[in-house]
């Protein structure tokens, strides 16, 4: 039983560590953005305030102990989807399948990142779910919350076929080929969590992954304990299949097992029944060992005819992974300058807003140069708007005559006429705009038959930054987890105490 508690507490701590690691990597990405955009503490303070400057200088000094700060920051980053720590890559199996389905090949480092997760699955089974996946910590907390509320409310335990997760995997691959890899934010809970953390901390914005994560949490709360891990997550299903004959697993001592006892199956978060010697999908969380009254469960190597079979399989898979090398292509949006990247490449405090009229797509970048600390600067209302107009029909950039108007609640507040585009095919306006307006721009393309388009936009100071709220929510969930684990331990201790107190009476009888 002690080993079970060690495994359970260890799984909580390691998943919490991964959660903290993801937050640190998001902060490192934020630092990297500031480093590439400003590379100057004074400019960081001007744009983001004294706290950001202090953090920036601290990161600079810390990374300097290991080499060039920029190179160190670039050598670490990512999410559970694909992460690099100290230059060592780790790749999600679903990410590898998605890239292979869409691009038909892998880059060598990306493929090599599969070695660790596959080796863990072949050796220990589905341990990713209990010891690595940060989203499962949230579902673990929800399961404890269900247990606390079950005294007053009824919670169903719905079970579905394992084919649901396989179907979601196939459907996700089809979506990835058709729309891009971002579709997995709707299907993988840990990817949704990682994307939410990244967007909230590094960018101060909400991610679509947050909505997906709330759906997963709702399924766990209303449909069944850890329903997402059991029946929905494609990664868990893949790793369970890879580790179906893992080297180490839960082993039952049949002679000590109590007839009629089914506690191990009732408590298992993956719906595994060790009493029936089931090991498929076992994540070695240790909960079954904690509740087993006979202490007949333990973690041991399997007895198999060929003890080297897992090693052989690992070598075969590694050979297959490294047989698809290819270079990766970088993405640069329509050849535009660096300050015109999409929001998920945040190198400066900016937002991009899109509009369309006829065959033309308009890309507007609202660049609030003073950032969020507007009260500390001489011109707090100075806003720069950059516009690129792209002809989707013939893949050319519009460079002709243009009337560029700024509207506040539909009323013009500033207008400028351009005879042609400026440097790098841009149309730009600098103007003082207070953060209390309802802004949009109205464009008239005179060389395209006076085609008109209106694009709403907002300033950075008008946005809600969700990083602190996301961090508070995670803190609450971790507190619930700790309280639930403590209550579970107290309940087990009370049961053991009652059992020990009842033994003398039984002997007298």
DSSP state of 207: -
Query: 158-197 burial by CB neighbour count: b if 16+ within 10 A, else e?
Result: eeeeeeebeebbeebbebbeeeebebbbbbbbbbbbbbbb
Q: Is 475 a domain residue?
A: no
358 Ramachandran zone, left/alpha/beta (phi>0; psi -120 to 50): left
Which tokens sit at 505?
């009476």
Residues 298 and 365 in one domain: no
Short-list 163, 117, 123, CA closest to 282: 123
φ, ψ (nearest 5 deg) of residue 30: -60, -45
How would you classify residue 494: left for phi > 0, otherwise alpha for psi between -120 and 50, otherwise beta? alpha
Please report the pLDDT score of residue 469 as a whole number.
64
Residue listed under structure tokens 């810390």: 62
Give dist(CA 341, CA 326) in Å, integer: 26
Q: Tens of pLDDT along 280-289?
A: 778 888 888 8
Are 61 and 190 within one domain? yes
Same domain for 281 and 396, yes or no, is no
Q: Note the pLDDT of residue 471.
A: 58
Same domain, 150 and 195: yes
Query: Is residue 384 domain-shared with residue 251, that is, in the same domain?
Result: no
The number of residues making up the chain comes to: 509
367 and 313 belong to one structural domain: no
Instruction: Tell me the C-alpha distance between 275 and 297, whole Å.
Output: 9
* CA-wise closest residue to 232 among 286, 287, 177, 165: 165
Work out whether strand 402-408 and strand 396-397 pair parallel, antiparallel, or are unpaired. unpaired
Q: What's the predicted TM-score (pTM) here?
A: 0.58
C-alpha pair distances (Å), 64 with each of 32, 45, 81: 14, 20, 28
- What angle, rounded to 10 degrees, do the helices at 115-124 and 309-321 form? 160
What is the domain extent for residue 430?
A: 336-462
Q: Is residue 503 part of a domain?
A: no
In this structure, is residue 468 part of a structural domain?
no
C-alpha to C-alpha distance for 29 and 202, rounded to whole angstroms: 6
Is 167 contained in some domain?
yes
* Three-state DSSP state, 236: helix
Distance of CA 458 to the CA centre of its chain: 27
pLDDT of residue 322: 46
Helix, coil or strand: residue 493: helix
pLDDT at residue number 405: 92
Q: Give the β-pairing of 396-397 and 88-91.
A: unpaired
312 and 378 in a single domain? The answer is no
Question: Helices in 260-335 by DSSP H: which ranges?
Answer: 263-267, 287-291, 309-321
Does residue 497 fall inside a structural domain?
A: no
- Measured CA to CA, the distance from residue 9 to residue 294 in angstroms comes to 21
Write the CATH number for 389.
Answer: 2.60.40.1930
Q: Clarify whether residues 288 and 400 are in a common domain.
A: no
Give bridge partners of residue 361 from the DSSP assignment. 356, 390
The total number of structural domains that make up the chain: 2
Within the chain, what is the greatest distance between any pair of CA atoms?
A: 105
Q: Does residue 37 form part of some domain? A: yes
- Give CA torsion, residues 419, 421, 422, 425, to 10 deg: -170
Is residue 273 located within the same domain as residue 359?
no
134 neighbors 473 (Cβ within 8 angstroms): no
Strand partners of residue 407: 412, 440
End-to-end CA distance of the chain: 29
Does residue 500 lie in a domain region? no
Residue segments in the chain with a per-residue pLDDT below the cut of 70:
1, 37, 47, 77-82, 86-87, 202-204, 303-351, 368-381, 423-424, 460-475, 477-494, 496-509
Is residue 383 domain-shared with residue 301, that is, in the same domain?
Answer: no
Dihedral sign (CA 3, 19, 60, 88): positive
243, burial (CB in 10 Å: exposed 0-12, middle 13-18, buried 19+): buried
> Are the C-beta atoms of 296 and 252 separated by less than 8 Å?
yes
d(CA 240, CA 407): 56
Last residue of a domain, one of 298, 321, 344: 321
Same domain membership, residue 438 and residue 342: yes
The string of DSSP letters for 382-431 reads EEEEEEEEEETTTTEE--S-EEEEEEETTEEEEEEEESS--GGG-EEEEE
pLDDT tens column, 190-238: 888 888 887 777 666 777 778 888 898 888 888 888 888 888 888 888 8
Domain contains 481: no
Check: CB of residue 285 under 8 Å from CB of residue 8.
yes
Residues 278 and 342 in one domain: no
């Amino acid at each position: 039983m002690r080993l079970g508690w060690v495994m359970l507490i260890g799984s909580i701590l390691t998943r919490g560590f991964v959660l903290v690691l993801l937050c640190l990597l998001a902060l490192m990405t934020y630092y990297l953005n500031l480093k590439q955009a400003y590379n100057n503490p004074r400019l960081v303070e001007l744009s983001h305030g004294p706290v950001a400057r202090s953090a920036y200088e601290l990161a600079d000094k810390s990374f300097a102990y290991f080499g060039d700060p920029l190179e160190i920051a670039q050598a670490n980053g990512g999410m559970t989807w694909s992460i690099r720590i100290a230059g060592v890559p780790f790749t999600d199996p679903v990410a590898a399948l998605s890239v292979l389905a869409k691009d038909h090949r892998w880059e060598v480092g990306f493929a090599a990142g599969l070695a660790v997760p596959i080796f863990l699955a072949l050796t220990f089974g589905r341990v990713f779910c209990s010891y690595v996946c940060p989203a499962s910590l949230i579902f673990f907390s929800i399961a404890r919350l269900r247990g606390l509320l079950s005294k007053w409310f009824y919670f169903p335990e719905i079970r579905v076929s394992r084919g649901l997760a396989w179907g979601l995997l196939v459907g996700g691959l089809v979506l990835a080929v058709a729309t891009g890899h971002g579709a997995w934010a709707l299907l993988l809970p840990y990817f949704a969590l990682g994307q939410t953390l990244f967007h909230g901390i590094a960018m101060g914005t909400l991610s679509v992954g947050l909505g997906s994560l709330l759906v997963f949490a709702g399924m766990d709360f209303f449909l069944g304990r850890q329903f997402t891990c059991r029946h929905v997550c494609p990664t868990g299903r893949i790793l369970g299949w890879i580790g179906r004959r893992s080297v180490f697993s839960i082993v039952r001592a049949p002679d000590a097992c109590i007839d009629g006892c089914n506690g191990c199956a009732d408590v298992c978060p993956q719906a595994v029944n060790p009493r029936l010697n089931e090991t498929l999908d076992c994540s070695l969380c240790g909960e079954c060992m904690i509740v087993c009254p006979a202490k007949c469960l333990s973690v041991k190597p399997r007895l198999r005819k060929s003890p080297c079979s897992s090693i052989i399989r690992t070598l075969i898979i590694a050979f297959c992974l490294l047989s698809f090398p290819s270079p990766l292509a970088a993405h640069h949006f329509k050849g535009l300058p660096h300050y015109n990247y999409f929001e998920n490449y945040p190198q400066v405090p900016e937002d991009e807003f899109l509009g369309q009229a006829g065959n033309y797509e308009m890309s507007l970048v609202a660049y609030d140069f003073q950032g969020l600390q507007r009260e500390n600067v001489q011109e707090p209302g100075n806003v720069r708007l950059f516009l690129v107009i792209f002809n989707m029909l013939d893949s050319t950039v519009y460079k002709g005559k243009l009337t560029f108007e700024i509207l506040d609640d539909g009323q013009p507040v500033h207008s400028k006429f351009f005879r042609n585009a400026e440097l790098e095919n841009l149309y730009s306006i600098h103007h003082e705009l207070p953060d209390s307006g309802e802004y949009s721009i109205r464009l008239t393309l005179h060389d395209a038959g006076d085609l008109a388009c209106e694009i709403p936009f907002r300033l950075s100071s008008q946005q809600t930054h969700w990083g602190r709220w996301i961090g508070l929510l995670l803190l609450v969930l971790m507190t619930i987890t700790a309280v639930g684990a403590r209550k579970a331990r107290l309940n087990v201790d009370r049961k053991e105490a009652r059992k020990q107190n009842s033994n003398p009476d039984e002997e007298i009888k």
